[in-house]
A and B are shown apart, each in its own frame.
Chain A
């Protein structure tokens, strides 16, 4: 099984490589190193948000509130910065992690302790978080002119040409890889998603794993909120509207099973990169940006259907399986 999974990620990487090659032949500026750096910088938010979403989906959950969380936390840190300007940037990051994580834990406790289905909870908190932005700021905006230099400058810092947002995403990826692969609670996420009953018998606590997953999802969304607001220089109610579906799409393309228990860090990163390449290729190919949505829709469908073929169709085989079982029972 793990061989097959690895195989699938290699395939996805090859498809992305072919796509980049094809686009570069058609539009040579796309193949340059500086453009590649640009794509990575641009996709940085999607990398970390998709990883956080994967952690939730692993537990058979879904977090639709991430984009609203991003917008609310971004607004709150922006307003905090207006009151306390010129604090060191890591403090803003820490604050955003705390606020976002707190919002995520609200989701988590409703799901873990009241056992309300995740899609219901996060659908509700999506509306609540998004609306709270207007409630806290009275419908105004936070603009670049309101932001202090440490606040706004941090996401624009560069190392080897790559922005600090990208490096943070890279750290998130390494942490996610270590956490999911090497720690007890990380493996527990796969266990509760793969087989909740068996996980329970192994002494893995479902509520704990759920709190963990939604807390992480919220914290990453919150941190992205600060970075997003500071990088694009504006916080208002509509930022990242609908972004949760792009994030989920990245997971799905990356081979994360919506049924829980299946998904890898590498696959999710490739899924995000796939979307990032398409989004960035359209302007270079002088295709109207209006195409972006239609193309990503078609790509999602193609990717999931190919993935489903690879996984085989267990459900379709019910009757033949039953017949075989009956035949064996006779013998």
Chain B
């Protein structure tokens, strides 16, 4: 304040908050590309099928991606800080197992939900503990815990299934939270959590710390950011949200088998990467992830309406992932993001 030269109106010393915003830069933003992709998906599907824009159809379509989308939010934060959690789907299996046993023992909805969340949280905290204490890359640790968690579910249940749940609990996953617009609970929770995550990541100091860790963990540590503690918390939340996913999924399908949610980790990571979160860390937005969730979810739904087999849909989504990442790199020349 005391030094007038800093505030001198000379353009030489003007430091702008951000580079001047050009229309081309805004259009080339990853989120803008996703918006265009989403528009293309919606228009294409509407032209192809008269049933696509039916609100009840759309509401039912959200069932197929909401649980994954909830887990994608925290996966985005993990990838942002250069970590990854491959064990989320296995945590869903283990939480669902606990819920199934509680249901079989005759407990009501509240203990069931609490158990599911608690088991998920413990699994996630165990991941975080191993990652922060051992210094082994999280991709390796979570490959191990993935086998461990799903293995425990397999050992406990073998080829059996758990199918006894209280009706009030099943209603959570099988009825609408509001009748108009028709909104399933899982989708509502996804929107709510997405808003919370967006505010946290983009509007709070703690959120900025995640970008700092992702950009350079060593520098972040030197700046006084508690890198390991934040990692531990993120893994714990990842487990907690996987537990929430298990609560919603088990209520929706009303049956627990050891192969529940098999392969979901790759679907979730696809959502996050398509959402523009750099696998090398430090870059990404919640808005992008939410858009990617809708692009993938609605594209899948539209293709299913056209009777395209599920595995062929997987081919198309795999192509979409690679092409959408490759196209901007090709367009901008070889200097794309690493």
Contacts and interface: CB of A to CB of B under 8 A. Distances in A.
Interface of A: 62, 110, 113-117, 119-121, 123-128, 130-135, 139, 237, 242, 245, 248-249, 252, 258-259, 288, 290-298, 300-301, 304-305, 307-309, 313-316, 318-319, 322
Interface of B: 130, 134-137, 139-141, 143-152, 154-155, 158, 218, 221-222, 258, 263, 266, 269-270, 273, 279-280, 309, 311-315, 317-319, 321-322, 325-326, 329-330, 334, 336, 338
Contacts of A290: 151, 154-155, 158, 258
A123 B329 contact: no
14 contacts: A115-B329, A117-B279, A123-B270, A130-B314, A131-B312, A134-B309, A135-B312, A290-B258, A294-B151, A297-B145, A297-B148, A305-B136, A309-B134, A318-B222
A299 B146 CA distance: 12
A25 to B, nearest CB: 24
A288 B146 CA distance: 19
A23 to B, nearest CB: 19
Contacts of B329: 114-116
A124 B322 CA distance: 6
A116 B158 CA distance: 40
B155 A318 contact: no
B312 A134 contact: yes
Nearest to B132: A316
Nearest to A307: B136
A131 B319 CA distance: 11
A124 B321 CA distance: 6
A133 B319 CA distance: 15
Given A124-B319, A293-B150, A300 B314 contact: no
Given A120-B325, A124-B322, A131-B311, A316 B135 contact: yes
A305 B132 CA distance: 11
B112 to A, nearest CB: 24
B280 A117 contact: yes
Given A125-B322, A293-B150, A258 B135 contact: no
A249 B155 contact: no
A307 B141 CA distance: 12
Contact of B147 (A134, A293, A305): A293
Contacts of B134: 304-305, 308-309
Contacts of A133: 311
Nearest to A296: B147
B141 A318 contact: no
A292 B318 contact: no
A229 B327 CA distance: 36
Contacts of A304: 134, 136, 140-141, 144
Contacts of B135: 308, 313-316
Interface of A is mostly: helix
B279 A120 contact: yes
A319 B137 CA distance: 20
Contacts of B313: 131
Given A139-B309, A292-B151, A308-B135, A301 B318 contact: no
A270 B2 CA distance: 69
Nearest to B263: A242
A139 B151 CA distance: 30
A124 B318 CA distance: 4
A191 to B, nearest CB: 19
B261 to A, nearest CB: 13
A315 B149 CA distance: 28
Contacts of A322: 222
A300 B221 CA distance: 29
Given A128-B318, A132-B315, A308-B136, A114 B148 contact: no
Contact of B151 (A132, A258, A295): A295
Contacts of B314: 127-128, 130-131
Contact of A116 (B150, B151, B222, B322): B322
A116 B134 CA distance: 29
A117 B325 CA distance: 10
Contacts of B322: 110, 116, 120-121, 124-125, 128
B269 A123 contact: yes
A297 B149 CA distance: 8
A135 B315 contact: yes
A50 to B, nearest CB: 14
Nearest to A116: B325
B319 to A, nearest CB: 6
Given A245-B146, A301-B130, A318-B222, A130 B280 contact: no
B125 to A, nearest CB: 15
Contact of B318 (A131, A316, A319): A131
Contact of B143 (A115, A248, A305, A318): A248
The winner among B218, B317, B319, B321 for most chain A CB atoms within 10 A is B321
